[in-house]
Structure 1
Amino acid sequence: MRTPIANKGQAFTHEERKVLKLRGLLPEAVTSIELETKRAMVQLRRKSTPLEKYIFLQGMQDTNEDVYYRMLIENTAELMPIVYTPTVGEACQEFSHIYRQTPRGLYISINDIGNVRLPAITCLSVAEILDNWPEKDIRAIVFTDGERILGLGDQGVNGMGIPIGKLALYT
Structure 2
Amino acid sequence: MRTPIANKGQAFTHEERRVLKLRGLLPAAVTSIELETKRAMVQLRRKSTPLEKYIFLQGMQDTNEDVYYRMITENTVELMPIVYTPTVGEACQEFSHIYRQTPRGLYISINDIGHVADILDNWPEKDIRAIVFTDGERILGLGDQGVNGMGIPIGKLALYTACAGV
Q: Which has the larger radius of gyration?
A: 1
Q: CA deviation digits over 1:13-61, x for unaligned, max 9?
A: 0000000000000000000000000000000000000000000000000
User: How far apart, in 2, do the equivalents of 1:37 and 1:100 lie?
Assistant: 22
Structure 1: 4+ residue segments shifted above 3 A: none
Cα RMSD (Å)? 0.5
Q: Give structure 1 stretches of 5+ with no counterpart.
A: 116-125
Corresponding position: 1:158 with 2:132: no
CA drift of 1:114 comes to: 1.3
User: How far apart, in 2, do the equivalents of 1:70 and 1:170 lie?
Assistant: 13
CA drift of 1:165 comes to: 0.4
User: How far apart, in 2, do the equivalents of 1:143 and 1:68 lie?
Assistant: 22
Q: CA deviation digits over 1:66-93, x for unaligned, max 9?
A: 0000000000000000000000000000
User: How far apart, in 1, do the equivalents of 2:43 and 2:120 lie?
Assistant: 36
Q: Give structure 2 stretches of 5+ with no counterpart.
A: 162-166
Kindly report which structure 2 residues correspond to 1:59-138, keeping only aligned pairs within 5 A, or say none: 59-114=59-114, 126-138=116-128
The number of equivalent residue pairs is 161
Q: CA deviation digits over 1:92-132, x for unaligned, max 9?
A: 000000000100000000110115xxxxxxxxxx0000000
| TM-score where L is the length of structure 2 | 0.96
Q: What percent of counterpart residues are identical?
A: 96
User: How far apart, in 2, do the equivalents of 1:169 and 1:20 lie?
Assistant: 31
| TM-score where L is the length of structure 1 | 0.93
CA drift of 1:3 comes to: 0.3
SS in 2 for 1:151: coil
